[in-house]
RNA sequence: UGCCCGAUAGUAUAAAGGUAGUACAACUGUUUUUGGUGCAGUUUGUCUAGGUUCGAAUCCUGGUCGGGCAACCA
């Protein structure tokens, strides 16, 4: 099952902790999204890490919504986050909210005020920023820094009671205005926000800041390993300071490098812009790196989990190549996707020695990679077929193993045909390819003794159904849009979506199952789009197949 | 220009002082009723300068490069 792999640095820490008996060997992690956007593939890395760690070490993982900023948060996001985690294949132990702890956090704050370790500051945001100094110069105290504990307690209570407007006062920790770590220069703990909160409604008008909410929530839940991304490294001393002063359960914070994928962006702010400015159709647009977008595109949970496993966990910045994600996708889909036939750019193939008006039902296994073929479906065959325009060449080069005058191919799951003629329209475009077939060459009972190099896909003209097909390309034209000059949106790929309105598909595809992956033979992996209806089928191309011939053509 | 984090093939990630390995990508060949898949193979790497050591990717020192930190965001 689990292949041999060396431990990542967090696993090493956990194994050390278990060996030394820390927390009685207990492992409790948490996944702490802020419900202000949809989850993306970068979150998937964190989800796989946090849930994976717990699974591996016989622990549990809480889902905790970090909802301390009512201005940006919404239940719409809560619902999508829940759905995405489940879809990825993980079960959380408890579903919790930082807002569940507002009473407790308030009491913690009072405790620090009582110890002389926090004070209410009336200064404006600008004054506080100015008084913080710079990385090279120490900060200076604001006028309120020396208020008595009693006065601070009183003022803090009045803040809570709503006596002051937004921004009038804040509560700050009293630590060290000269600290080389800017986060230790009397960081803000609470701010006033007369805003409606998605869970606590109008109960509160003061809200804790991240630094005074996250670590406290971890501690309340007795999280043993609080895993977050690199940008929180400078927050760690503060995380530890609050826990120490409060004398509460010592959760420990560990940081890893977030995932970056090339040819896309990964910040929620940027993704939100793409949605709001209609560069994509929504958070679940199949071109988006969101979990919901990847799901709609046809990615499988297993492929994403495998991807997250392969990219590893370390502390150095990284940009992963999209080709690795695609490899993991194909690896899974090759084993699970049912094979079907569809002709995207059709020309007609006429079998001149096949009885006119006759048709027969052929059999095609669902998946040759599976032991038993994973079942099979019926495919109607007749004298008139649609084939792919690119599978015929009037003057074929030597290594072109498809149709051309005098050339033979196998029709997948059917007969071997040989081309003897073709027709063109007035513009010189090929319209018909005329062939003869070998009756003894039928798939599964071939006694012809003829062997051909190429096999092509087809759909019977009289039996074909149609569907809209959406082909996707990378959303951005450059590897790292965020590091380019100017607005990242200048680098959007204008050809990221191509729609083919009427593609001929084999009849069985009218029974396509939502959420299932299909391989259109030689054309790629496809899945039903959520826009699809029984009247109008719509398929998304999840990924192309690897194409050695395209490379060959490119070389010459 | 204070503090913090990091640096191993094109991209990621291992090697805990003792043969620099794995995956993806690229390239060869082979198999194949998908120019897919599978299989076999090839190419490519320790940022730099010193030091410690029989021996350094690993330890030490200096430098270089990349990233982060001065939101009433998380």
Q: What is the reported pLDDT for A555? A: 77
The ipTM is: 0.97
- Nucleotide closest to A442 measured between CA and C1': B33
Only one residue has tokens 């809209």, namely: A468
Q: What is the reported pLDDT for A1? A: 32
For A273-333, the DSSP string reads HHHHTTSSSSTT-TTSSBHHHHHHHT--HHHHHHHHHHH---SS---B-HHHHHHHHHHHH
List chain A residues with pLDDT less than 50.
1-3
Which window residues (255-314, chain A) lie with Cβ within 7 Å of strand B? Answer: 257, 310-314
HSE, side-chain direction, 13 A CA sphere, residue A304: 30
Instruction: List all nucleotides in chain B with at least one atom under 7 A from a protein Cβ.
Output: 1-8, 10-16, 23-25, 27, 33-38, 66-74
Only one residue has tokens 């259109």, namely: A520
| Token pair listed for A287 | 């071109």
Cβ of A454 near strand B (under 7 Å)? The reply is yes
Cβ of A124 near strand B (under 7 Å)? The reply is yes
Q: Is A479 a catalytic residue?
A: no
Integer-rounded Cα radius of gyration of chain A? 31
- Nucleotide closest to A235 measured between CA and C1': B69
* Long-range contacts formed by A290-293: CB under 8 A, 24+ apart: A290/A38, A290/A39, A290/A40, A290/A41, A291/A38, A291/A39, A291/A40, A291/A41, A291/A43, A291/A44, A291/A84, A291/A87, A291/A88, A292/A38, A292/A39, A292/A80, A292/A83, A292/A84
Handedness of CA A322, A327, A330, A336 (dihedral sign): negative
pTM summary value: 0.96
Cβ of A66 near strand B (under 7 Å)? The reply is yes
Q: What is the reported pLDDT for A2? A: 37
Which window residues (331-360, chain A) lie with Cβ within 7 Å of strand B? Answer: 331, 334, 339
In residues, how long is chain A?
556
Q: Which domains does chain A have, with CATH numbers?
A: 102-211 (3.90.800.10), 259-339+464-556 (1.10.1160.10), 342-457 (2.40.240.10)
3 state SS of A57: coil
| Token pair listed for A503 | 């593609």
Q: Is A541 a catalytic residue?
A: no
Q: What is the reported pLDDT for A285? A: 98
Q: What is the reported pLDDT for A372? A: 87
A501/A493 Cα distance (integer angstroms): 21
Q: Which residues, 6+ apart, have CB-to-CB distance to A219 below 8 Å?
A: A243, A246, A248, A249, A250, A251
Alpha carbon A275 to chain centroid, angstroms:
15
Closest CA to the C1' of B13: that residue is: A312
Which window residues (13-32, chain A) lie with Cβ within 7 Å of strand B? Answer: 32
Q: Are A198 and A67 spatial neighbours (Cβ–Cβ below 8 Å)?
A: yes
Crossing angle of the two packed helices A102-114 and A214-221, in degrees rounded to 10: 110
A233 CA to B24 C1' distance (Å): 30
Q: What is the reported pLDDT for A3? A: 43
- List pLDDT tens digits, range A227-283: 999 999 999 999 999 999 999 999 999 999 999 999 999 999 999 999 999 999 999
Cβ of A408 near strand B (under 7 Å)? The reply is no
Q: Is A258 a catalytic residue?
A: yes
- Nucleotide closest to A71 measured between CA and C1': B73
Only one residue has tokens 């598909």, namely: A505
CA-CA distances (angstroms) from residue A311 to A88, A89, A337, A354, A395? 17, 19, 24, 54, 46
The pairing of strands A518-520 and A338-340 is parallel
A541/A517 Cα distance (integer angstroms): 10
């Amino acid at each position: 099952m689990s292949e041999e792999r060396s431990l990542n640095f967090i696993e090493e820490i956990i194994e050390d902790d278990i060996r030394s008996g820390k927390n009685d060997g207990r492992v409790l992690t948490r996944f702490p999204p802020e419900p202000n956007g949809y989850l993306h593939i970068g979150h998937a890395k964190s989800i796989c890490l946090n849930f994976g760690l717990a699974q591996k070490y016989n622990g549990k993982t809480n889902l905790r919504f970090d909802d301390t900023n009512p201005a940006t948060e919404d239940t719409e996001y809560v619902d999508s986050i829940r759905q995405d985690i489940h879809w990825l294949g993980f079960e959380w132990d408890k579903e919790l909210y930082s807002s569940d702890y507002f009473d407790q956090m308030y009491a913690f704050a009072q405790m620090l005020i009582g110890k002389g370790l926090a004070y209410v500051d009336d200064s404006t945001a600008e004054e506080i920023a100015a008084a913080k100094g710079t990385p090279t110069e120490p900060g200076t105290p604001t006028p309120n820094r020396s208020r008595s504990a009693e006065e601070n307690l009183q003022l803090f209570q009045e803040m809570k009671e709503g006596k002051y407007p937004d921004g009038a006062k804040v509560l700050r920790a009293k630590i060290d205005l000269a600290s080389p770590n800017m986060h230790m220069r009397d960081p803000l703990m609470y701010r006033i926000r007369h805003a409606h909160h998605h869970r606590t409604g109008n109960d509160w008008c003061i809200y804790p800041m991240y630094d005074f909410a996250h670590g406290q929530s971890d501690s309340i839940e007795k999280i043993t390993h609080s895993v977050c991304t690199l940008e929180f490294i400078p927050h760690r001393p503060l995380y530890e300071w609050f826990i120490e002063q409060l004398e509460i359960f010592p959760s420990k914070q560990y940081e890893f490098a977030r995932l970056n994928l090339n040819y896309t962006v990964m910040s929620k702010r940027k993704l939100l812009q793409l949605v709001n400015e209609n560069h994509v159709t929504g958070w679940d647009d199949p071109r988006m790196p969101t979990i919901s977008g990847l799901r709609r595109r046809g990615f499988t949970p297993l492929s994403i989990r495998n991807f997250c496993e392969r990219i590893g966990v370390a502390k150095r910045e990284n940009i992963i190549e999209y080709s690795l994600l695609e490899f993991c996708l194909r690896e899974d889909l090759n084993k699970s996707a049912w094979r079907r036939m569809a002709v995207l750019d059709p020309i007609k193939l006429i079998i001149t020695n096949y009885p006119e008006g006759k048709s027969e039902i052929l059999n095609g296994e669902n998946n040759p990679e599976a032991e038993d073929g994973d079942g099979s479906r019926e495919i109607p065959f007749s004298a008139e077929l649609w084939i792919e325009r690119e599978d015929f060449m009037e003057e074929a080069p030597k290594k072109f193993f498809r149709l051309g005058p005098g050339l033979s191919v196998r029709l997948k799951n059917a007969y071997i045909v040989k081309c003897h003629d073709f027709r063109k329209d007035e513009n010189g475009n090929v319209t018909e390819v005329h062939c003869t077939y070998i009756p003894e060459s039928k798939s599964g009972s071939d006694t012809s003794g003829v062997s051909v190099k190429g096999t092509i896909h087809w759909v019977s003209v009289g039996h074909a159904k149609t569907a809209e097909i959406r082909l996707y390309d990378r959303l951005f034209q450059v590897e790292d849009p965020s590091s380019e000059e100017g607005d990242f949106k200048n680098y959007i790929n204008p050809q990221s979506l191509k729609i083919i309105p009427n593609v001929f598909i084999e009849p069985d595809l009218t029974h396509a199952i939502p959420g299932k992956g299909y391989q259109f033979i030689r054309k790629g992996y496809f899945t039903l789009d959520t826009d699809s209806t029984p009247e109008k089928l719509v398929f998304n191309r999840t990924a192309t197949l690897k194409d050695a011939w395209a490379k060959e053509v490119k070389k010459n």
